[in-house]
Amino acid sequence: MVRLITTKLLGGLMAASIGILVAVAPAAASGAYSLSGAASLTGGHNSPTGVRLTSTGTGYSAISFAVPAGTTFSEIQSLATDYTITAGDCGGGSPRFSIETSAGNAFVYIGPAPSYTGCTTGSWQSSGNLVSASSFVDTTQLGGTFYDTWASADAAFGSVSVTAIDLVVDAGWKFPTQTVVVDNVNVNGTINTFESAQTCKDNGWQAYGTFKNQGDCVSFFATGGSNAAG
């Protein structure tokens, strides 16, 4: 499992709204995420770096986002991502946000409701904020229903502890290859653009257009943005 660092809003460096395709410049690090399965870094959408999530056959890819200790289900207020499907389609319950809780997982599917199939492929899309009173969340593992609304899920499971939030692709069994590239992933207000000191290496610093050299780029992320670019 690869441990990496996420990014967050930094005054003057990123303009973003929940569920809107955004343009970004380098941002300082916050929080953490990890990649698993066949997940890998790749080019992003209006940022140098995104994550490629691929499932072939029974394989999977996932990004796991850390959440603050003590977070409850009712405190989840925003889940959104920019995404492009480059192989296969949405379907088979994938791609999805998986909300890990102490009582089981709740699933938020990406794609046109209610079937979550027939996504636009080959171009970047915005999921919009998938957390609203009337939008659906699958709470069957918690004892709820497949088409539970957030309002009813909050009433029933609002106090349940959330331990992590994952973005998962695992429907290779259906297509048989499903590949989704994601960027600007909004997890409860933190917009993850996947830039880090690691992405400065192998001439990656040049993609930002703001750094003098690799060391300048690495220093920016290592200091949380206090060492300004250039």
> What topology does CATH give the domain 33-193?
Jelly Rolls (2.60.120)
Q: Specify the higher pLDDT residue, 227 or 94.
A: 94
Average pLDDT over residues 114-131: 96
The pLDDT, as a whole number, for residue 135 is 96
Give me the phi and psi of 67, to 5 degrees please.
-125, 150
Q: Is the peptide bond before 176 cis (omega within 30 degrees of 0)?
A: yes
Instruction: Using the predicted structure, report yes or no on whether residue 46 has a pLDDT greater than 80.
Output: yes
In percent, how much of the chain has pLDDT > 70? Answer: 83
Question: Among 80-94, 168-182, 202-216, which is the least confidently predicted range?
Answer: 202-216
Q: What is the pLDDT of residue 27?
A: 44
> pLDDT averaged over the chain?
85
Confidence of residue 226 (pLDDT cuts 50, 70, 90): low
CA–CA gap between residue 7 and residue 44 (Å, rounded):
13
CA-CA distances (angstroms) from residue 70 to 11, 80, 103, 142, 161? 28, 22, 14, 18, 6
Alpha-carbon distance of 111 to 29, in angstroms, equals 29
Q: What is the pLDDT of residue 13?
A: 28
pLDDT in tens, 126-160: 999 999 999 999 999 999 999 999 999 999 999 99
- The confidence band for 26, taking pLDDT boundaries of 50, 70 and 90, is very low
pLDDT digits (tens, 9 = 90+) for 47-77: 888 999 999 999 999 999 999 999 999 999 9
pLDDT band at 15 (very low <50, low <70, confident <90, very high): very low
